Chains A and B, each alone.
Chain A
Amino acid sequence: MNSSKQTASTSFKAPDSSSLQLNDQGRLRHFLTTENLSKDILTEIMDVAESFSSVADQAVKKVPVLRGKTIVNLFFEDSTRTRTTFELAAKRLSADVINLNIATSATSKGESILDTIRNLEAMHADMFVVRHGDSGAAHFIARHVAPHVSVINAGDGRHAHPTQAMLDMFSIRREKKEFKGLKVAIIGDILHSRVARSQIHALNTLGVQEVRVIAPSTLLPSDTKSLGVQVHGDLRSGLDGVDVIIMLRLQRERMGGALLPSEHEYFECFGLTAEKLAYAKPDVTVMHPGPINRGVEMDADVADGKHSIILQQVTNGIAIRMAVMTLALGANRASDSS
Chain B
Amino acid sequence: METGLTSVDIESVIEEMANQLALQLKQKNIDSPLMIGVHTGGLWVAERLHAKLGLTKPLGEIDISFYRDDFTRIGLNPQVKPSQIPANVEGEHIILVDDVLYTGRTIRAALNEIFDYGRPDSVVLAVLVDRGGRELPLQADIVGMKLDLSPQKQVKLSGPVPLALETNRI
Contacts and interface: CB of A to CB of B under 8 A. Distances in A.
Touch between chains A and B, by CB atoms below 8 Å: yes
Interface of A: 27, 44, 47-48, 50-55, 57-60, 62-66, 68, 93, 326-327, 330-331, 333-334, 337
Given A51-B65, A58-B117, A330-B75, 6 more contacts: A50-B82, A52-B82, A57-B117, A65-B65, A326-B66, A337-B74
Residue from the set B72, B90, B115 with the largest chain A CB neighbour count within 10 Å: B72
Given A54-B82, A59-B116, A59-B118, A64 B66 contact: yes
28 contacts: A47-B80, A48-B80, A50-B82, A51-B63, A51-B80, A51-B81, A53-B82, A54-B85, A57-B85, A57-B87, A57-B117, A59-B88, A60-B116, A63-B66, A63-B116, A64-B66, A65-B65, A65-B67, A93-B66, A327-B76, A330-B75, A330-B76, A333-B72, A333-B73, A333-B74, A333-B75, A334-B74, A337-B74
A47 B82 CA distance: 9
Contacts of A51: 63, 65-66, 80-83
B113 A334 contact: no
A65 B80 CA distance: 13
Contacts of A50: 82
A48 B65 CA distance: 10
Interface string B83-126: 11101101000000000000000000000110111100000000
Nearest to A44: B78
Interface residues on B, range: 20 to 34
Contact of B71 (A55, A57, A59, A330): A330
Contacts of B87: 57-59
B67 A63 contact: yes
Nearest to A326: B76
Contact of A54 (B68, B75, B84, B90): B84
A64 B112 contact: yes
Contact of B75 (A59, A62, A63, A331): A331
Contacts of B83: 51, 54
A58 B116 contact: yes
A327 B87 CA distance: 26
